Structure 1
Amino acid sequence: MRLVSFEHSGRATFGAVVGAGSTWSPDAAVVDLGARLSCPDLRALLAAGEPALAQARDLAERAAASPGSADLAASDVVLSRPIPFPEKIVCVGVNYAERNEEYKDASERPKYPSLFMRAPDSLVAHGASILRPPESEQLDYEGEIAIVIGKAGRRIPAERAREHVAGLTIMNEGTIRDWLRHGKFNVTQGKNFAASGAIGPWIVTGDECPAFDDMTLSTRVNGEVRQHDSTRRMMFPLAELVRYISTFMVLKPGDVIATGTPTGAGARFDPPRWLVPGDTVEVEVPGIGVLRNTVDDEFA
């Protein structure tokens, strides 16, 4: 099931997408679950657990089996971030082996994940514009797979991690590179410019997700492949990230974990290849979908 948050006629709600391929397209239709279920938003649906998800799945399957019975056409809605305001967005840095080697600092393979946080409004939805701020021209892309938590937990064993994952989505973990170096021990500034990254278009629920340890991610800028790698080569697999992060914080429904980006970001070219207004960035993960956004100046 593909779950989305969206706006329609000034109303914020959520639903299930039917009739779509791997991309959000005019052929898609949406079942308005917010109008049919007692949950106020998608995060509440996830928190309600399997009985509520089963109701949602039944409504989506009925609509898929009866073309034209869905509530809304894709063209009638504006997508929001899948979870518009998650309590936590935890991001993992340098999680592919080649990314560690990119730094050319002769450092050993890390023993623990590198982590930082993002604010919800640093990300836009699928189809919205990523904004280059006036303070820097060093806007960069980072394609990532993102975990969405469905079941709360603390100290979750890796072998039970999938029980706590509602599904997966895609993130372009956009970065303002020169602002990463403003602080001695943190990257917060460069990771939290408003609308500098993107997430979406939907959450693919766990029952339909590919195997966590065998997914491929590709990032394209204006059709050119810049990043391409497999989760098989992650230093810290998705289940291990859930285990490690839940050791020190309670993971709650709707929380997001961005699992790291492969080699090939614009900063690693010589000279660097920063994003500029008019660029289109696509991040694709077969089995999850395609996240697509264009780039604009914040004050165009």
Structure 2
Amino acid sequence: MHVGRVAGVGGAPLWALIDAAAGTLRAIRNPFAEWAPVAATGSAEAFDLDPATHALAEVRLLAPVEPGARVFGVGLNYLEHLTRLGRTQAPPHSIAYIKPDSAIVDPCGTIAYPAVTAMLDFEVELVAVLARPLDDDQPATASLLGYTIGNDVSARDAGKQLGSLDLFTQKALDRTAPVGPWIATLDALGGPGQPAVDVEMRINGEIRQRDNSRNMIFTLDELLNFVDARVRLRPGDLLFTGSTCGVGLEDGRFLKPGDVLEAEIQHIGVLHHKVGEKRPLSPARAAGRLGIPAGG
């Protein structure tokens, strides 16, 4: 079962039950907090559905993010990716970060090419979506609504002058985190526990990343507990779960304006997007690119 956010059905953007095969949808009228925990089981009884059916072609898909939800990410989670970057052992734990809502890009949208980077990279990721807070009496993944697709576009040269990690510049830039096209409910990926789905990124038709989520170093339960121990997760929150090998950082083939990207995950779908023209940088903000005061 798939649920997503759409614009173009009446007034404000809303959640909808989507039949991807038929190309149709029905609007969901009850609040996210009511239907999300039940929908995770694949039960349509979770929804108070509008009787009208609409064609997907008549609406615009939005990133499937509940207003007010937070977007978290973790890294260091696929060993082959780390091996290609020179690491020989798995890390003792993951690293985490948070993305502002301004980073989110809707399905079929355009990724910004920020002026502050010359090394814009791609990372297809399985993204977990919370239906309710974690419960100590159940596996962390039992609290999920399901999964969607994310592209954790990163500025790889961030922190280069510092000789240190600058996750703010690398991961939080405006309009650099495509998410969608919708959420596949938890039952569609095997229920609670570690999912095992094929993950692929194509750029201009060329396969650049391909792996399976079973190869994560840290399981979804471990990742969710890691974040929740630091920031309590809430219904609607998203967690990017790390990316595999094949990224531009490994071979120097970074994104360019005009590139067309297709991120695909088994049982979810395909997330299409493209890279926009590189933004110009004003003289006042050019100093900020270097991390020094304007006029300094």
Per the TM superposition, whether the score is higher than 0.5 is: yes
1:270-289 per-residue CA deviation (whole Å, 9 max, x = no partner) reads xx112122211111111111
Question: For residues 30 and 195 of structure 2, what CA distance do their matches in structure 1 show?
Answer: 35
Q: Which has the higher helix share?
A: 1
CA-based RMSD? 2.6
Asked whether the equivalents of residues 144 and 173 of structure 1 are also in contact (C-alpha less than 8 Å), the reply is yes
Structure 2 SS opposite 1:207 = helix
* 1:6 pairs with 2:6: yes
1:297 lines up with 2:277 in the alignment: yes
Deviation at 1:7?
1.1
Structure 1 runs, 4 residues or longer, greater than 4 Å off: 51-60
**Structure 2 unpaired stretches of 5+:** 281-296
CA 1:161–1:189 in structure 2 vs 1: closer, same or farther (change >3 Å)? same
Distance 1:77 1:205 in 2: 21
Q: 1:138 aligns with which of 102, 105, 119?
A: 119
**More displaced, 96-105 or 225-234?**
96-105
Distance, in Å, in 2 between the alignment partners of 1:110 and 1:82 is 31
Following superposition, the deviation at residue 137 of structure 1 comes to 3.0
8 Å CA contact 2:39, 2:145 repeated in 1:
no
Q: Is the 8 A contact 2:158 2:165 kept in 1?
A: no
Using the size of structure 1 for normalisation, the TM-score is 0.82
Corresponding residue to 2:215 among 223, 233, 238: 233
Matches within 5 A, 1:256-295: 256-269=238-251, 272-295=252-275
* Closer, same or farther: CA 221–51 of 1 in aligned 2, 3 Å: closer
Distance 1:38 1:286, change over 3 A: closer
Q: Kindly report which structure 2 residues correspond to 1:236-251, keeping only aligned pairs within 5 A, or say none.
A: 236-251=218-233
> Which shows bigger deviation, 204-213 or 187-196?
204-213
Distance in 1 separating the partners of 2:77 and 2:215: 9
For residues 212-237 of structure 1, the C-alpha deviation after alignment (integer angstroms, 9 at most, x for no partner) is: 34211011101111001112211101
1:29 to 24, 28, 45: 24
What SS does the aligned partner of 2:139 have? Answer: helix
1:167 aligns with 2:155: no
Matched, 1:254 2:255: no
Instruction: Indicate conservation of the 8 Å contact 1:97/1:235, yes or no.
Output: yes
The verdict on how the C-alpha distance between 1:88 and 1:182 changes in structure 2, with shifts beyond 3 A counting, is farther
Q: Distance in 1 between matches of 2:34 and 2:278?
A: 34
User: Residue type of the partner of 1:7?
Assistant: A
Name the counterpart of 2:30: 38
Pick aligned residue for 2:73 from 91, 97, 101: 91
In structure 1, what is the equivalent of residue 109 of structure 2?
Answer: 128
* Alignment match, 1:66: none
SS in 2 for 1:253: coil
> Equivalents in 1 of 2:69, 2:258: separation in Å?
32
Equivalent residues in 2 for 1:91-130, closer than 5 Å: 91-106=73-88, 108-130=89-111
When structure 1 is superposed on structure 2, of 118-127 and 86-95 the one drifting more is 86-95
* The one of 188, 200, 205 aligned to 2:185: 205
Structure-2 change in CA distance of 1:45 and 1:220 (3 Å): farther
**What SS is found at the alignment partner of 2:57?**
helix
How many residues end up aligned between the 2 structures?
A: 275
Deviations 1:89-111 (A, max 9, x none): 221112001122233155x3211
2: CA distance, partners of 1:58 / 1:132: 39
Is the Cα–Cα contact under 8 Å of residues 86 and 256 in structure 1 kept in the other structure? no
User: Take 2:145 and 2:161, find their aligned partners in 1: how far apart are those partners?
Assistant: 36
Cα distance in structure 1, aligned partners of 2:47 and 2:98: 35
Q: How many Å apart are 1:51 and its aligned residue?
A: 8.1
- Deviation of 1:11 after TM superposition, in Å, equals 2.1
Tell me, in whole angstroms, the C-alpha distance in 2 between the residues paired with 1:276 and 1:99: 22
Question: How big is each residue's C-alpha offset from its partner over 1:112-143, in whole Å with a ceiling of 9 and x where there is no partner?
Answer: 11111111221201111111123333211100
Measure how far apart 1:253 and its partner are. 0.5
| Contact 1:46 1:166 (C-alpha < 8 Å) held by counterparts | no
